[in-house]
Amino acid sequence: MDLQFRADPAMLPCAVPGGVRFVFDAAPGTRSVALAGTFNSWVGDACMLEPVSPTRWQATLPIPAGRHLYKLVIDGKDWIADPANPWISEDGQHNSCLTVDASGAVLMREPGLSAAAPGPLHARAALASPDWLRDGVIYQLSVPAFGGDFDGVRARLGYLSELGADILWIMPVHPIGIEGRRGTRGDPYAVRDFDAIDPALGDAASLRALVDAAHARGMRVILDWTLNRSSVDHPFTRTHPHWYTRRADGSIYYAVPERGYFAGFDFADRALRHYLIDSMRGWIERYGFDGLRFDDSDITPCDFLDEIRAALAALRPDIALISQSYDEFHHLAACDLTYEGGTREMLRRCAHGEADGAAFARYWNESTYSFPRGALRMRWLEDKEQGRASAFLGRAAHGPAATVMLAMDGVPHLLMGQEFDEPSWTGWPVLFDPYQLNWQCFDGALYAHYQALIGLRRRHAALRAGATAFLDHLPPGVIGFTRDDGCERIVVLANLSSTAVTLGAGFTRVATLYASGWHQEDARLGPYGWMMGSSDDLP
């Protein structure tokens, strides 16, 4: 997220002989302090800090290259962000962040990054991504929740075409583990067979028919892949126990807390890597998938992601790989798209009066210019681990927030039902029991808004590939920017406040393309209104 305060360099994680040193000043009487993060699968007692004074605790930990999220665990029960680190994660989980480069140096995000003063990683070019991903709009769905089975989803492809979504992301379709299952269906990310289809969803022919029908409509299809674990009752836990992480007594476990129905892979085993890559290749060859999305790839070795990329790109040069991470290094050789959840949080802050358009612009600059040059980020208001945008932002702010998200750079993502404000989704655990979207609660006005925004993005290349420049001196609650591709300049204004605002006289000359609450004659934007227009002349 945006950096909220100036850090004391002496308290920040830093590179020292042996790894990265962490320092924490605890309250008197603290009994223990531990580090938990993506570097140790979030185990709350794997890395203990040692007291070096009555209140200061310290530890040095070898950490591989890449972005890492972490928390401090106080007295074994209180999980807190590092109070000395102003860099908070974009994932809505309030984790502290750091990045380690290949030399072992720690790269902390710095305030004031911009095109004129980028971070060190911006000098490196991101992996070139296929145009179909760069220009697309992603729609994520669960087969049973959206359509019941493969045939039911195929019957709703016309709905998605009318909406304008052209990249279909299908959540896992593999058989689900039974042992330790939560709910009657279980977690769809607990895979019991990576080479099979859950028979409740259909068969191979119906899946192939779905992918073919989507392709016939000009859509691409991405399969969700559970990367670093299987279900605890996967046959490999018996036939190939050496493929898994094991305790000293040889028992298999998954290190992430509260996930006892998973068994964690040990990627040091080359045969395991070969098997998983061959399985991925098989799904692409048999069903024609255009890409894969990797679940929890932030705790997967980056060199394995690089191997996957090389193998799948040899099979299909225009493959797209989505990483569920915020890792800058995933863009260099492995993945086309990483998550970008900070936009969602900054929109909430603007809607609640906690930030303004200038803060939103600072966040965009800090997050853009700390990444490799040209890195594609997936922007979202909802994802599987979050509830509905209207509940998070406030119902009235949903419309202008969607305007911002779909007019920004990167690749926009919608979660099934987001476009009509479906009320029953609260996060992916609803899928552990029989669940379908409530199509009876259909907000037609919000659907039409998303449809209009996606249509504008499709018709105006500047909204897909144009340079971004933020507008200064806007009233509180208003976010404004332009997208310019050299042929057209699009102006975007969104009022996330409950107060009407008046903008500069120059905005009266904008040729309006799409607006709500916009009074062009006096450049006034109503509460929760928005305006998108074309202009070559702005103050």
Q: What is the pLDDT of residue 538?
A: 58
Q: What is the pLDDT of residue 446?
A: 98
Q: How far is it, in rounded angstroms, from Cα 274 to Cα 308?
A: 9
Walk along the chain (539 residues) and give the pLDDT tens digit of each residue. 667 788 899 999 999 999 999 999 999 999 999 999 989 888 888 899 999 999 999 999 999 989 999 999 999 999 999 999 999 988 878 999 999 998 999 999 888 999 999 999 999 999 999 999 999 999 999 999 999 999 999 999 999 999 999 999 999 999 999 999 999 999 999 999 999 999 999 999 999 999 999 999 999 999 999 999 999 999 999 999 999 999 889 999 998 878 899 999 999 999 999 999 999 999 999 999 999 999 999 889 999 999 999 999 999 999 999 999 999 999 999 999 999 999 999 999 999 999 999 999 999 999 999 999 999 999 999 999 989 999 999 999 999 999 999 999 999 999 999 999 999 999 999 999 999 999 999 999 999 999 999 999 999 999 999 999 999 999 999 999 999 999 999 999 999 999 999 998 889 999 999 999 999 999 999 999 999 999 876 54
H or E stretch covering 302: helix 302-315
According to DSSP, residue 420 is labeled G
What pairing do the DSSP bridges indicate for beta strands 47-48 and 291-295?
unpaired
Residue 447: count of CB within 10 angstroms of its CB:
17
Question: How far is Cα of residue 255 from the mean position of the Cα atoms in its chain?
Answer: 22
- The residue whose two tokens read 């192939």 is 208
Q: What is the pLDDT of residue 6?
A: 83
- The residue whose two tokens read 């607990």 is 190
List the beta bridge partners of residue 291.
222, 320
For 462, the token pair is 């500047």
Whether the CB-CB separation of 482 and 469 falls below 8 Å is answered with yes
> 495: closest CA among 481, 523, 476, 519?
476
Q: What is the pLDDT of residue 259?
A: 86
The helix/strand count (H/E) of the chain reads as: 15, 26
Q: What is the pLDDT of residue 258?
A: 80
- Distances 280 to 67, 209, 380 between C-alpha atoms, Å: 25, 19, 26
According to DSSP, residue 119 is labeled -
- Distances 72 to 19, 27, 45 between C-alpha atoms, Å: 18, 13, 10
List the beta bridge partners of residue 263.
230
First to last CA, the chain: 30
Q: What is the pLDDT of residue 148?
A: 98
Q: What is the pLDDT of residue 92?
A: 79
Q: How far is it, in rounded angstroms, from Cα 415 to Cα 140?
A: 5
Q: What is the pLDDT of residue 437?
A: 98
Produce one character per residue of 160-169: b if its CB has 16 or more CB atoms within 10 Å, e if not. beebbbbbbb
> 138: closest CA among 213, 223, 228, 207?
223
Q: What is the pLDDT of residue 91?
A: 81
> 465: closest CA among 165, 131, 222, 169?
131
Q: Report the length, in residues, of the chain.
A: 539
Q: If 0-12 CB within 10 Å is exposed, 13-18 middle and 19+ buried, where does residue 34 land? A: buried
What pairing do the DSSP bridges indicate for beta strands 78-80 and 66-74?
antiparallel
Q: What is the pLDDT of residue 1?
A: 63
Cβ within 8 Å of residue 249, ≥6 positions away: none
What amino acid is encoded at 283 in this protein?
A: W
Q: What is the pLDDT of residue 146?
A: 98
Q: What is the pLDDT of residue 4?
A: 73
Q: Which domains does the chain have, with CATH numbers?
A: 9-107 (2.60.40.10), 131-464 (3.20.20.80), 468-534 (2.60.40.1180)
Produce one character per residue of 90-107: b if its CB has 16 or more CB atoms within 10 Å, e if not. bbbeebbbbbbeeebebb
DSSP letters, 321-376, are EEESS--TTHHHHT-SEEEE-HHHHHHHHHHTTS--HHHHHHHHHHHHTTSPBT-E
Counting Cα atoms < 13 Å in the Cβ hemisphere of 70 gives: 29
Q: What is the pLDDT of residue 121?
A: 94
According to DSSP, residue 246 is labeled B
